[in-house]
Amino acid sequence: MLDDFLIRAALAGVGVALAAAPLGCFVVWRRMAYFGEATAHAAILGVALSLALSLPLVPAVLGAALAMALAVSALSGRGYAMDTLLGVAAHTALAAGLVAVALLADRGAARLDLMAFLFGDILAVNRADLAVIWGGAAVVAGLTAWRWPSLLMSTLNPDLARASGFDPRREELGLTLALAIVVAVAIKVVGVLLIAAMLVIPPAAARPLVRTPEAMAIGAALLGAVSALAGLWVSFLLDTPTGPSIVCVAAGLFLFTTAAGGLRGRV
Protein backbone atom coordinates (compact mmCIF):
# COMPACT_ATOMS: atom_id res chain seq x y z
CA MET A 1 0.00 0.00 0.00
CA LEU A 2 2.84 2.36 0.87
CA ASP A 3 4.23 1.72 -2.62
CA ASP A 4 1.78 4.19 -4.10
CA PHE A 5 3.19 7.72 -3.98
CA LEU A 6 -0.31 9.16 -3.59
CA ILE A 7 -0.98 7.06 -0.48
CA ARG A 8 2.35 8.13 0.98
CA ALA A 9 1.55 11.75 0.17
CA ALA A 10 -1.87 11.47 1.80
CA LEU A 11 -0.39 9.91 4.95
CA ALA A 12 2.30 12.61 5.07
CA GLY A 13 -0.25 15.41 4.73
CA VAL A 14 -2.51 13.98 7.43
CA GLY A 15 0.47 13.43 9.72
CA VAL A 16 1.57 17.05 9.41
CA ALA A 17 -2.01 18.23 9.98
CA LEU A 18 -2.21 16.18 13.21
CA ALA A 19 1.16 17.45 14.45
CA ALA A 20 0.31 21.05 13.66
CA ALA A 21 -3.24 21.12 15.10
CA PRO A 22 -2.76 21.14 18.90
CA LEU A 23 0.34 23.30 18.67
CA GLY A 24 -1.33 25.63 16.18
CA CYS A 25 -4.09 26.26 18.74
CA PHE A 26 -1.51 27.56 21.21
CA VAL A 27 0.10 29.62 18.44
CA VAL A 28 -3.29 31.25 17.85
CA TRP A 29 -4.27 31.65 21.52
CA ARG A 30 -0.91 33.12 22.50
CA ARG A 31 -0.72 35.33 19.40
CA MET A 32 2.50 33.65 18.29
CA ALA A 33 1.71 33.48 14.55
CA TYR A 34 4.68 35.64 13.65
CA PHE A 35 6.85 33.67 16.05
CA GLY A 36 5.87 30.53 14.15
CA GLU A 37 6.74 32.26 10.91
CA ALA A 38 10.24 33.21 12.14
CA THR A 39 10.87 29.69 13.39
CA ALA A 40 9.71 28.19 10.10
CA HIS A 41 11.85 30.53 8.01
CA ALA A 42 14.89 29.52 10.04
CA ALA A 43 14.42 26.05 8.57
CA ILE A 44 16.04 27.22 5.33
CA LEU A 45 19.14 28.05 7.39
CA GLY A 46 18.96 24.46 8.58
CA VAL A 47 18.92 23.31 4.95
CA ALA A 48 22.08 25.33 4.30
CA LEU A 49 23.65 23.91 7.44
CA SER A 50 22.88 20.37 6.35
CA LEU A 51 24.43 21.04 2.92
CA ALA A 52 27.54 22.68 4.34
CA LEU A 53 28.28 20.03 6.94
CA SER A 54 26.75 17.04 5.14
CA LEU A 55 24.37 16.53 8.05
CA PRO A 56 21.05 14.72 7.69
CA LEU A 57 18.33 17.25 6.88
CA VAL A 58 15.83 16.77 9.73
CA PRO A 59 18.23 17.24 12.69
CA ALA A 60 19.82 20.25 10.96
CA VAL A 61 16.42 21.89 10.39
CA LEU A 62 15.32 21.02 13.94
CA GLY A 63 18.47 22.62 15.34
CA ALA A 64 18.17 25.79 13.25
CA ALA A 65 14.48 26.24 14.09
CA LEU A 66 15.11 25.68 17.78
CA ALA A 67 18.07 28.08 17.81
CA MET A 68 15.97 30.75 16.14
CA ALA A 69 13.06 30.29 18.54
CA LEU A 70 15.33 30.45 21.59
CA ALA A 71 17.23 33.48 20.23
CA VAL A 72 14.00 35.39 19.61
CA SER A 73 12.68 34.50 23.07
CA ALA A 74 15.92 35.67 24.66
CA LEU A 75 15.93 38.97 22.73
CA SER A 76 12.29 39.83 23.41
CA GLY A 77 11.70 42.67 25.84
CA ARG A 78 15.03 44.35 25.13
CA GLY A 79 13.92 47.58 23.60
CA TYR A 80 12.22 46.44 20.39
CA ALA A 81 8.56 45.63 19.99
CA MET A 82 8.07 41.90 19.54
CA ASP A 83 6.64 42.18 16.02
CA THR A 84 9.58 44.33 14.88
CA LEU A 85 12.03 41.84 16.31
CA LEU A 86 10.21 38.91 14.69
CA GLY A 87 9.97 40.75 11.38
CA VAL A 88 13.73 41.26 11.39
CA ALA A 89 14.42 37.66 12.46
CA ALA A 90 11.98 35.96 10.08
CA HIS A 91 13.08 37.72 6.93
CA THR A 92 16.77 37.71 7.83
CA ALA A 93 16.64 33.96 8.36
CA LEU A 94 14.91 33.43 5.03
CA ALA A 95 17.24 35.75 3.09
CA ALA A 96 20.43 34.48 4.73
CA GLY A 97 19.31 30.90 4.25
CA LEU A 98 18.64 31.44 0.53
CA VAL A 99 21.99 33.16 0.07
CA ALA A 100 23.81 30.41 1.93
CA VAL A 101 22.08 27.64 -0.05
CA ALA A 102 22.91 29.41 -3.35
CA LEU A 103 26.58 29.80 -2.36
CA LEU A 104 26.85 26.17 -1.35
CA ALA A 105 25.09 24.96 -4.48
CA ASP A 106 27.41 27.11 -6.60
CA ARG A 107 30.42 25.46 -5.07
CA GLY A 108 29.02 22.20 -6.25
CA ALA A 109 28.34 20.98 -2.71
CA ALA A 110 25.01 19.68 -3.85
CA ARG A 111 22.44 20.10 -6.51
CA LEU A 112 19.14 20.79 -4.99
CA ASP A 113 15.75 21.94 -5.93
CA LEU A 114 15.24 25.07 -3.86
CA MET A 115 11.56 25.16 -4.77
CA ALA A 116 11.08 21.83 -3.01
CA PHE A 117 12.24 23.34 0.27
CA LEU A 118 10.31 26.57 -0.14
CA PHE A 119 6.98 25.01 -1.15
CA GLY A 120 7.36 21.37 -0.22
CA ASP A 121 7.43 18.27 -2.34
CA ILE A 122 4.81 16.00 -0.85
CA LEU A 123 4.73 13.65 -3.85
CA ALA A 124 8.40 12.75 -3.25
CA VAL A 125 7.81 11.61 0.36
CA ASN A 126 9.38 8.19 1.00
CA ARG A 127 8.91 5.64 3.78
CA ALA A 128 11.68 7.15 5.93
CA ASP A 129 10.07 10.59 5.62
CA LEU A 130 6.74 9.09 6.69
CA ALA A 131 8.37 7.59 9.77
CA VAL A 132 9.85 10.99 10.67
CA ILE A 133 6.54 12.80 10.11
CA TRP A 134 4.43 10.39 12.16
CA GLY A 135 7.12 10.10 14.83
CA GLY A 136 7.23 13.89 15.13
CA ALA A 137 3.44 14.08 15.22
CA ALA A 138 3.35 11.50 18.00
CA VAL A 139 5.94 13.42 20.04
CA VAL A 140 4.11 16.74 19.65
CA ALA A 141 0.71 15.21 20.41
CA GLY A 142 2.13 13.40 23.43
CA LEU A 143 3.87 16.51 24.73
CA THR A 144 0.79 18.72 24.43
CA ALA A 145 -1.54 16.06 25.89
CA TRP A 146 0.81 15.51 28.84
CA ARG A 147 1.21 19.23 29.63
CA TRP A 148 -2.32 20.24 28.56
CA PRO A 149 -3.69 21.66 31.87
CA SER A 150 -0.55 23.62 32.68
CA LEU A 151 -0.17 24.83 29.09
CA LEU A 152 -3.76 26.08 29.17
CA MET A 153 -3.30 27.84 32.50
CA SER A 154 -0.01 29.41 31.40
CA THR A 155 -1.76 30.66 28.29
CA LEU A 156 -4.68 32.12 30.27
CA ASN A 157 -2.47 33.88 32.80
CA PRO A 158 1.13 33.02 33.80
CA ASP A 159 0.57 34.10 37.43
CA LEU A 160 -2.48 31.86 37.70
CA ALA A 161 -0.36 28.94 36.47
CA ARG A 162 2.40 29.84 38.91
CA ALA A 163 -0.02 29.93 41.84
CA SER A 164 -1.23 26.44 40.91
CA GLY A 165 2.33 25.16 41.08
CA PHE A 166 3.23 25.20 37.37
CA ASP A 167 6.23 26.91 35.79
CA PRO A 168 4.98 28.97 32.82
CA ARG A 169 8.51 29.51 31.48
CA ARG A 170 9.05 25.77 31.25
CA GLU A 171 5.74 25.36 29.43
CA GLU A 172 6.81 28.07 27.00
CA LEU A 173 10.05 26.22 26.38
CA GLY A 174 8.08 23.04 25.69
CA LEU A 175 5.96 24.86 23.13
CA THR A 176 9.10 26.21 21.48
CA LEU A 177 10.54 22.72 21.22
CA ALA A 178 7.28 21.37 19.79
CA LEU A 179 7.23 24.20 17.26
CA ALA A 180 10.73 23.30 16.05
CA ILE A 181 9.65 19.66 15.68
CA VAL A 182 6.61 20.63 13.61
CA VAL A 183 8.77 22.81 11.36
CA ALA A 184 11.25 19.98 10.85
CA VAL A 185 8.59 17.43 9.90
CA ALA A 186 6.48 19.79 7.79
CA ILE A 187 9.24 21.18 5.56
CA LYS A 188 8.97 18.30 3.08
CA VAL A 189 5.17 18.50 2.91
CA VAL A 190 4.29 22.19 2.68
CA GLY A 191 7.72 23.85 2.57
CA VAL A 192 9.28 26.64 4.59
CA LEU A 193 6.99 29.41 3.34
CA LEU A 194 3.71 27.69 4.16
CA ILE A 195 4.42 25.88 7.45
CA ALA A 196 3.04 28.79 9.45
CA ALA A 197 -0.16 28.56 7.38
CA MET A 198 -0.69 24.94 8.49
CA LEU A 199 -0.22 26.06 12.10
CA VAL A 200 -2.59 29.00 12.05
CA ILE A 201 -5.33 28.37 9.48
CA PRO A 202 -6.89 25.07 10.71
CA PRO A 203 -7.30 26.29 14.34
CA ALA A 204 -8.66 29.61 13.09
CA ALA A 205 -11.12 27.69 10.88
CA ALA A 206 -12.19 25.53 13.85
CA ARG A 207 -12.70 28.48 16.23
CA PRO A 208 -16.25 29.54 15.19
CA LEU A 209 -17.49 25.95 15.55
CA VAL A 210 -16.35 25.15 19.10
CA ARG A 211 -16.91 26.06 22.75
CA THR A 212 -13.92 24.51 24.54
CA PRO A 213 -10.14 24.44 23.96
CA GLU A 214 -10.15 20.65 23.53
CA ALA A 215 -12.83 20.81 20.85
CA MET A 216 -10.78 23.45 19.04
CA ALA A 217 -7.69 21.21 18.99
CA ILE A 218 -9.70 18.27 17.67
CA GLY A 219 -11.53 20.46 15.16
CA ALA A 220 -8.21 21.87 13.94
CA ALA A 221 -6.84 18.34 13.48
CA LEU A 222 -9.92 17.28 11.48
CA LEU A 223 -10.01 20.39 9.31
CA GLY A 224 -6.25 20.16 8.78
CA ALA A 225 -6.52 16.53 7.69
CA VAL A 226 -9.43 17.35 5.35
CA SER A 227 -7.38 20.21 3.88
CA ALA A 228 -4.43 17.90 3.29
CA LEU A 229 -6.50 15.23 1.54
CA ALA A 230 -8.65 17.65 -0.48
CA GLY A 231 -5.59 19.73 -1.39
CA LEU A 232 -3.83 16.63 -2.65
CA TRP A 233 -6.87 15.73 -4.74
CA VAL A 234 -7.19 19.27 -6.15
CA SER A 235 -3.51 19.35 -7.07
CA PHE A 236 -3.87 15.95 -8.78
CA LEU A 237 -6.93 17.10 -10.75
CA LEU A 238 -5.66 20.54 -11.74
CA ASP A 239 -1.95 19.77 -11.83
CA THR A 240 -1.20 22.53 -9.30
CA PRO A 241 1.61 22.54 -6.68
CA THR A 242 0.45 20.40 -3.76
CA GLY A 243 1.57 22.43 -0.70
CA PRO A 244 -0.10 25.66 -1.88
CA SER A 245 -3.21 23.67 -2.90
CA ILE A 246 -3.50 22.28 0.66
CA VAL A 247 -3.21 25.77 2.13
CA CYS A 248 -5.82 27.11 -0.32
CA VAL A 249 -8.30 24.43 0.75
CA ALA A 250 -7.63 25.26 4.43
CA ALA A 251 -8.21 28.95 3.69
CA GLY A 252 -11.47 28.05 1.94
CA LEU A 253 -12.60 26.13 5.04
CA PHE A 254 -11.67 29.14 7.17
CA LEU A 255 -13.82 31.45 5.04
CA PHE A 256 -16.71 28.99 5.18
CA THR A 257 -16.69 28.43 8.98
CA THR A 258 -16.16 32.13 9.68
CA ALA A 259 -19.13 33.05 7.49
CA ALA A 260 -21.23 30.28 9.05
CA GLY A 261 -20.24 31.42 12.54
CA GLY A 262 -21.10 35.01 11.68
CA LEU A 263 -24.53 34.00 10.40
CA ARG A 264 -25.22 31.89 13.47
CA GLY A 265 -24.14 34.77 15.71
CA ARG A 266 -26.60 37.10 14.01
CA VAL A 267 -29.67 34.89 14.42
Partner 1 sequence: MTAPLIRAENLSVRLDGRVVLQDVDFEIRSGEIVTIVGPNGSGKSTLLRALIGAIVPARGRVVRAPGLRIGYVPQKLAIDASLPMTVQRFLNLPRRIGTREALAALDQAGVPDLHDRQMADLSGGQFQRVLLARALLEDPQILMLDEATQGLDQPGSAAFYRRIEAVRRDTGCAVLMVSHDLHVVMAASDRVLCMNGHICCEGTPEVVASAPEYRALFGTGTGGTLALYRHEHHHSHDHDHPNPHPGHAHETET
CA 203: distance to chain centroid? 12
| For partner 1, the closer CB: 11 or 175 | 175
**Nearest C-alpha neighbor of 253 from the set 210, 206, 221, 211:** 206
| For partner 1, the closer CB: 151 or 247 | 151
207 binds partner 1 (CB under 8 A): yes
255 binds partner 1 (CB under 8 A): no
Site for partner 1 (CB under 8 A): which residue of 142, 159, 256, 263? Answer: 159
Site for partner 1 in 160-179 (CB under 8 A): 160-164, 166
| For partner 1, the closer CB: 91 or 167 | 167
State how far the Cα of 100 lies from the Cα of 189, in Å rounded to an integer.
Answer: 22
CA 75: distance to chain centroid? 22
Number of residues that bind partner 1 (CB under 8 A): 29
Cβ 213 vs Cβ 152: under 8 Å: yes
81 binds partner 1 (CB under 8 A): no
CA 187: distance to chain centroid? 8
Q: Which of the stretches 40-48, 97-105, 125-133, 152-160 binds partner 1 when contact is defined by CB under 8 A?
A: 152-160
Cβ 74 vs Cβ 80: under 8 Å: no
The amino acid at 156: L
CB of residue 218 to partner 1, shortest distance in Å: 12
What is the Cα Rg of the chain in Å? 18
| For partner 1, the closer CB: 157 or 240 | 157
**Nearest C-alpha neighbor of 204 from the set 254, 250, 246:** 254
96-128 CB burial, b ≥16 within 10 A, e <16? ebbebbeebeeeeeeeeeeebbbbbbbeebeee
| For partner 1, the closer CB: 101 or 197 | 197
Site string for partner 1, 18-37 (x = CB under 8 A): ----------xxxx------
Site string for partner 1, 111-150 (x = CB under 8 A): --------------------------------------xx
CB of residue 36 to partner 1, shortest distance in Å: 14
Site for partner 1 in 214-253 (CB under 8 A): 214-216
Secondary structure in 3-state letters for 199-235: HHHHHHHHHHHCCCHHHHHHHHHHHHHHHHHHHHHHH
Residues within the interface to partner 1 (CB under 8 A): 28-31, 149-150, 152-153, 155-164, 166, 203-204, 207, 210-216
